[in-house]
Structure formats: C-alpha cells, structure tokens
Amino acid sequence: MAMEPSADASPARPLHKQLAHTLMTEEAIYGVILVSGMIVVSESVTLDSLRAFLTVFGTVVVFWAAHVYAGTLARFGHEEGGGNLPFAFSSAIRHSSGMLVAAVLPLVILLLGGLRILEDDTAMWMALGVDTLILGVLGFLGVARWSKSPWLRAGSALITAAFGVLVVLLKVFVH
C-alpha cells in the first residue's frame, strides 16, 4: 500500500515557505558545505572560475544523484514506500532537492566569473561568502523555529556562519 505524499509537499504553500522548508534540511546544509569545500579544492587546482563552476556543478549533481538513489532504495525497501518504486523515487527527489537548491547562488556567482562578468578571484570569494551567509541564515532560522530570543537566534547564526568562515580560512591556507 503506497502512502500519499505528505502535506509538506503541498503546492498551496507560499514560495518563500517552500524554499525555507527545502533549505532547512540536512541535504541542503550538506550541499552548502559541499559547495564551499569544492570551491576551495577546485581553486587550489585552478584559478579559473569556469572550471570551478564545472567541478562544483558536476560534484553536486553526482552527490545529489547518489542521495536520490540511496533514498529511493531505502524508501522502496521500507514500509513507508511499501514496494512502490514511483513513490519511493519521487519522495527521494523531494527529500534531496535541498542539495540542488542550496548550490544555485554560489554556482551562479561562479558562472558570472566564468563569463568574465566578475574576476575569477572575486567570483570565488563571493561564492564562499554567500555560502557563509547561507549557513548563518539557516542557523538563525533553525533556532527561530523554537525560540523568540534574539540572542539565541544571533548566536546560532554566528556559530553556523563560523563553519563557513572555517572553510574560507581553509581556502586561504590551501591557496
């Protein structure tokens, strides 16, 4: 017996709430960290933001496909999926979509560098800065779901953004 998709996937929700729901997932946060790490690694190999774009894009797609495959297999064999392959596959795609969404802004910035609208170095730094900002916003929003304290929200934003800063420092060290 296949289960119906959850109410979370409802198209009736406003776009900003759908986006927040998609970004507040383990996969999206992992995607941000993956993109930052790949920018650091690709820049240590090449200073070309177009190559960095292609490397990061390809890596994100491969990791996303692996997540979809693993999610499909896990759901298909679990009582939730009930042997319903289309349900398991669509559920895995929905669940893993945050990884792709989280990569969009830094990839656009890298592409702007690849198209020579931005300098390569500027594009790399901006993409890392955007990832750090995204981590901070996600930390803020995560705590905002359960606390009205501005201190807890700000502290969480700073702690999660600090991870992005660590990746930037790694970039400086590696480069």
The pLDDT value recorded for residue 164 is 78
User: Is 108 domain-assigned?
Assistant: yes
What is the spatial distance between Cα 131 and Cα 34, in angstroms, rounded to a whole number?
A: 10
User: Is 11 domain-assigned?
Assistant: no
User: Is 12 domain-assigned?
Assistant: no
Q: Are 118 and 53 in contact (CB under 8 A)?
A: no
The pLDDT value recorded for residue 174 is 67
User: Is 130 domain-assigned?
Assistant: yes
Q: Of the ranges 18-27, 33-42, 159-168, which one carries the lowest mean pLDDT score?
A: 18-27
Counting the structural domains of the chain, the total is 1
The most confident of 18-22, 24-28, 106-110, by mean pLDDT: 106-110
Range of the domain at 39: 25-174
Supply the pTM of this predicted model: 0.81
Tokens 């991870």 map to which residue? Answer: 163
Q: Rg (Cα) of the chain, in Å, rounded?
A: 18
Residues 30-75 pLDDT 10s: 899 889 888 888 876 677 899 999 999 999 999 999 999 999 998 8
User: Is 58 domain-assigned?
Assistant: yes
Evaluated on CA atoms 144, 146, 152, 156, the torsion sign reads negative
- End-to-end CA separation in angstroms for the chain: 54
User: Is 142 domain-assigned?
Assistant: yes
